[in-house]
Amino acid sequence: MCIHWLPTESLPNRLQGQISNGVHLFFVLSGFLITRILMQGRAAVELRSASRAFTLRQFYARRFLRIFPAYYLALGVGALFHFQAVRTGFWWHASYLSNFYYYHRQNFDGPASLFWTLAVEEQFYLIWPLAILFLPRRWLLPFVLGVAVLGTAIRIDSLLTDSWLKILLPACMNFLAVGSLVAVAENPISGSIAARNRLLRIFAVLIAILACCSAGLTLKLGFHAAMASSMMRPINQPMMSMLYACQFAWVSAGTPRHLGAALRLRPIVYLGKISYGLYLYHLFVTFAMKHFLERLDGHVRGGHRVELLINFAVLFTVTVIIASISWFSFEKPLNDLKRFFPMPSTRMAGRKTG
């Protein structure tokens, strides 16, 4: 929201362009959590309490219930209200091929622009369970490590050449596989807590090296020149992917008391609950409000700080209201159907064998 609702020359926009952004953080988090779920399912498969086919069915059903309904609602509403960007690429978006659509166009277009990230996620959900559930146990860790290294190489190449390849799945595996790597390393099937800690120490060393390179380049070029340099992203984005992975591993192991209390504050928990809707709808709200205000001879973005804050507050409030309505009236009832599709777990195996 900061990136889309603040001027391009603002500090959040300049930093996200050169360092990282919320999409990258979510990719790492998604890789970490999804792989954790799949590894738990694999453990149940190996204990013969569930089949691979059953585990895949449960996984895909749960992803469908969480992701598809709100996505197609947003897509349908965008087409119904004649958002040209939605109507032009409708079947690309409906097929979760938005990243290929924008790769072909070499340009983003309107409120549907963010759909490329959801396309990457769905493509990841489609192929990753097959690897995690079907690869031999001894190949799991080398495979995920190889994908992380290859994804990082593709990512760096796409950034150095300023290629639109960066929005396709292979270039995003830098983030997804780094998160997955922590989940595979810590699971008893393919690793151990000691293996995870060794991995995190390696990440820490690489983060320190890349941070020194980034700081040195910033000092050499100056802050403003560094923010405009094409050399910063290939350094900072791999660094941030590993930093995010370390943070998630640390938090999942147990948060310090004060941080845990802060993360459990009701407003934070509530925003997390409706966060998918916030992400889906915020650009639609932006374009709709802009169109409405232009009719009133106004505008969404302005040059004055007070005006920017007012615009941000209005857009944020409207988006929260819409995301809340979507959650309680549409998403939550469908999401509750997940209870009919529980993922197999070792607890199930214990009940069966006990």
% of the chain with per-residue pLDDT over 70: 93
Number of H helices, E strands in the chain: 19, 0
pLDDT at 346: 60
pLDDT at 298: 47
Cα 23–chain centre separation: 5
Going by pLDDT thresholds of 50, 70 and 90, the confidence category of residue 96 is very high
Distance from C-alpha of 97 to C-alpha of 92, rounded to nearest angstrom: 5
Residue type, 259: L
- pLDDT over 60 (residue 348): no
Q: Which of 23-27, 129-133, 147-151, 228-232 has the lowest mean pLDDT?
A: 228-232
Per residue in 135-172, pLDDT (tens digit) is 999 999 999 999 999 999 999 999 999 899 999 999 99
Q: What is the mean pLDDT of residues 166-182?
A: 96
Per residue in 190-237, pLDDT (tens digit) is 999 999 999 999 999 999 999 999 999 889 888 778 777 778 889 999
Specify the higher pLDDT residue, 258 or 329: 329
CA-to-CA dists, residue 144 to 21, 65, 292, angstroms: 23, 27, 48
CA-to-CA dists, residue 311 to 6, 10, 14, 111, 281, angstroms: 9, 15, 20, 17, 16
- HSE (side-chain half, CA atoms, 13 Å) at 151: 29
pLDDT at 290: 77
Cα 33–chain centre separation: 11
pLDDT at 352: 43
Cα dihedral 91, 147, 192, 242 in deg (nearest 10): -80
Going by pLDDT thresholds of 50, 70 and 90, the confidence category of residue 109 is confident
CA-to-CA dists, residue 113 to 56, 312, 318, 348, angstroms: 30, 20, 20, 42
- pLDDT over 90 (residue 238): yes
Going by pLDDT thresholds of 50, 70 and 90, the confidence category of residue 353 is very low
Distance from C-alpha of 163 to C-alpha of 250, rounded to nearest angstrom: 34
pLDDT at 294: 62
pLDDT at 17: 66
Going by pLDDT thresholds of 50, 70 and 90, the confidence category of residue 19 is confident
Q: What is the mean pLDDT of the chain?
A: 89
- pTM given for the model: 0.90
Distance from C-alpha of 143 to C-alpha of 177, rounded to nearest angstrom: 10
pLDDT at 349: 44
Going by pLDDT thresholds of 50, 70 and 90, the confidence category of residue 126 is very high
Q: Which of 84-93, 301-310, 318-327 has the lowest mean pLDDT?
A: 301-310
- pLDDT over 50 (residue 262): yes
pLDDT at 44: 93
Q: What is the mean pLDDT of residues 69-98?
A: 92
% of the chain with per-residue pLDDT over 90: 68
Specify the higher pLDDT residue, 45 or 82: 45
